[in-house]
Structure 1
Amino acid sequence: MLAVDIGRNYVRVALADLVGDIVARRDEPSRADHPAELIAQLTGLAAELLAGAGLTAEDITLSVFGTPGIHDKETGALLLAPNLPGWELPGAVERLAEVVAAPYVLENDVDLAAVGEGAYGLGQGVSHFVFVSIGTGIGMGVVIDGRLYRGSRGAAGEISYLPVGEGDPRVNPGRGMFESVASADGVLALARRLGLDAATAKDVFDAARAGDATAGRVLAAEVDHIAHALAGVAAVLDPELVVLGGGIGAQAGDLLAGPVAERLESLVALRAPRIQISSIGPDAVLLGALAVGLAAARDQVFEQTVALA
């Protein structure tokens, strides 16, 4: 099977057997500015992996793609995915069929990250937890009673639209208030408004570690935004565990987890959930795609075997 993580900055593609072992993998910067370029990139990567493993496209049982946003099955568009321009157009999603001539499944990337964390990471054995990804965008995967919860339209966990912070979504169309202030762009924008010379959100967090006072103010604002968002999540879902992931989760987890947990204690009615940083990091989406794909591929092979018996 083929597992694909499509992000704004990187694409990760892995080829795995039905045991779950990855036999080939490639990660490279994403050509996300245009759907045609991204499809060409994914098609080329899949062909390279197959050739390197001595396989053909016919050997692929199933492909699983993880992307930001919500798949509108009626129009074939990808909604709420501003980091993938052009994918909001009707029929855009159907072009994924060009990557490999095999059945494919499309899942929200943060939902897959939650599945990956449950199968291979901190979510193992935890019945109620959420995976919160904070990076170029913000999203949340929800696990209830050990199962992924998608909601009625697949939009469960779109916490980027929570009314947290002072952001104005009209300034950044397609982005919610929470995402406007707490994503990488929001962190960088606040740092620059306060006079900090930084090129990336990582620069801001590195400066905070070094003791820079202005960067410390930005970090405090980020902690406050995240804690207020999680207070809403805790009030509605009552998770046992919150796993922080995404680019900011990876870059600044050591700066965020403790302070967010401490701030959250004063915002919730009962005991706050545990706050931990993802143990599988940037591989969460890819591992989730593998977990989903392996289950589906095994079922498919079993059905074909029974039909031939």
Structure 2
Amino acid sequence: IAILYEPNPDAGYVVGVDVGRGWVRSAVANLAGHIIARNDKPNDAQSASGLVELISHLARDVVAHAGLSWSQVVHAVIGTPGVFDEQSKRVLFSSNLPDWGRHGLLTELRAAFGLSLSLENDANLAALGERSFGWGSSTSTFVYITIGTGVGMGIVMNGALYRGARGAAGEIGFLPFGLDEVLEESGKISDTYLGMFEEATSAEAIVRQAQKLGLPASLSPRQIFDAAQQGDSKALAVVEQEGYRLALAIAVITAVLDPALIVLGGGIGQRGELLLPPLERRLQQLTPLRPRIVASKLGDDSVLLGSIATALEVAHDLVFQYYVNSNNSNNGNSTSSMAPGQS
């Protein structure tokens, strides 16, 4: 007879953290996935060590605010730009976070948190957040493209995250793109072959293009999109170009992966009401393969929700193993009874 186990929702808790260049976000949830508390703070850290301190304090504050003790946390997942390399234990391609790719970072994080912890690419977590709570819950094969400070993509194939041979699947910021044109815009020569698509479509590119068309240099991407929404012709031209450029990458992605759905997120990708019309017009000119394209309905929370969903998968296994070990210990077997997540 098979015995089914369902964990007590309050048998343990998980912490999710979203680390971005501008903001860090953290939340704590029980084993049923109910978020009990969360907090967001500006990322004012000036170094990798400062950022470790910032996110560990933020996570501990959130847990305390929920009325919980830190020892009740089973597992934490930290979402970060870049690719975590299992062999070197380093975060690669995280240029938007100063010194975040140095050796020893994971050890420092685990020491600061003092519990079971894992690092994951933020776009991957955003895709998993969409799979659990957003548009991706209705299809098994889709991609999540984030456009903001950086550009990246999370890929869900047949219901599971696709990572590639080195965990770098979805690093579309490195796609080649109009080399001479982008170099002329950005003025960057030293990294000619690195991050060309990101250089062409990120928040920084939006600001550059707006200045080129005569808009004030002080405008942020959000303000440029707001101006476009109010009908400003120059701002509309910036948005039109952004949609066209995104369409070029989406045409390639669609030909290679054939997703049923493409979800756009990040500070720029969320502005679907403005981006989607020029993007879809251009896509019609480029390819007969046109998946459904939507803006994320999770807003700024997609990475955070993905980190919670991922932490829950690990926590359920840890709690179950703790339960089995405790039973073995009670039956006289010599098995460790360390609490789940304790390190």
Q: Could you tell me the TM-score, scaled by structure 2's length?
A: 0.85
1:173-184 matches, within 5 Å, as: 173=191, 176-184=195-203
For the Cα contact (< 8 Å) 1:32–1:84, is it kept in 2? no
For 1:215, the equivalent position in structure 2 comes to 235
Tell me, in whole angstroms, the C-alpha distance in 2 between the residues paired with 1:136 and 1:176: 12
**3-state SS of 2:109 partner:** helix
1:97-116 matches, within 5 Å, as: 97-116=110-129
Going from structure 1 to structure 2, the CA distance change for 1:297 and 1:232 (only over 3 Å counts) comes to same
For 1:33, the equivalent position in structure 2 comes to 46
Tell me, in whole angstroms, the C-alpha distance in 1 between the residues paired with 2:122 and 2:107: 17
1:200 paired residue among 220, 233, 239: 220
For 1:271, the equivalent position in structure 2 comes to 289
For 2:37, the equivalent position in structure 1 comes to 24
Tell me, in whole angstroms, the C-alpha distance in 2 between the residues paired with 1:40 and 1:14: 16
1:280 paired residue among 285, 290, 298: 298
Tell me, in whole angstroms, the C-alpha distance in 1 between the residues paired with 2:108 and 2:277: 43
After the TM superposition, which segments of 4 or more aligned residues of structure 1 sit over 6 Å from their partners?
none
Going from structure 1 to structure 2, the CA distance change for 1:175 and 1:81 (only over 3 Å counts) comes to farther
Give CA deviations for 1:205-243 in whole Å, capped at 9, x if unaligned: 122222222222211211111000100100100111110
CA RMSD of superposed structures (Å)? 1.7
**3-state SS of 1:62 partner:** strand
Figure out how many residues of one structure are paired with residues of the other and give that number: 307
1:289 paired residue among 307, 310, 330: 307
| Structure 2 unmatched runs, 5+ | 1-13, 328-343
Q: Does 1:167 align with 2:186?
A: no
Give CA deviations for 1:36-83 in whole Å, capped at 9, x if unaligned: 111111122122223223322221110100000011233332111111
Tell me, in whole angstroms, the C-alpha distance in 1 between the residues paired with 2:162 and 2:318: 23
Amino acid at match of 2:93: L
Amino acid at match of 2:100: W
1:234 paired residue among 248, 251, 254: 254
Q: Does 1:128 align with 2:145?
A: no
Give CA deviations for 1:245-289 in whole Å, capped at 9, x if unaligned: 000022x22101232122212212x33011100011111001101
**3-state SS of 1:234 partner:** helix
For the Cα contact (< 8 Å) 1:33–1:84, is it kept in 2? no
Q: Does 1:148 align with 2:161?
A: yes
- 1:88: how far off? 1.9
Amino acid at match of 2:73: I
For the Cα contact (< 8 Å) 1:14–1:26, is it kept in 2? yes
For the Cα contact (< 8 Å) 1:86–1:92, is it kept in 2? no
Which has the larger Rg?
2
For the Cα contact (< 8 Å) 1:57–1:100, is it kept in 2? no
For the Cα contact (< 8 Å) 2:56–2:113, is it kept in 1? yes
Amino acid at match of 1:185: E
For the Cα contact (< 8 Å) 1:2–1:14, is it kept in 2? yes
| Structure 1 unmatched runs, 5+ | none
Going from structure 1 to structure 2, the CA distance change for 1:307 and 1:28 (only over 3 Å counts) comes to same
Amino acid at match of 2:182: G
Greater Cα shift, 34-43 or 166-175: 166-175
Give CA deviations for 1:86-131 in whole Å, capped at 9, x if unaligned: 1122222332113321110111001000000011000012011100
Q: Percent identity?
A: 44
1:300 paired residue among 318, 323, 329: 318
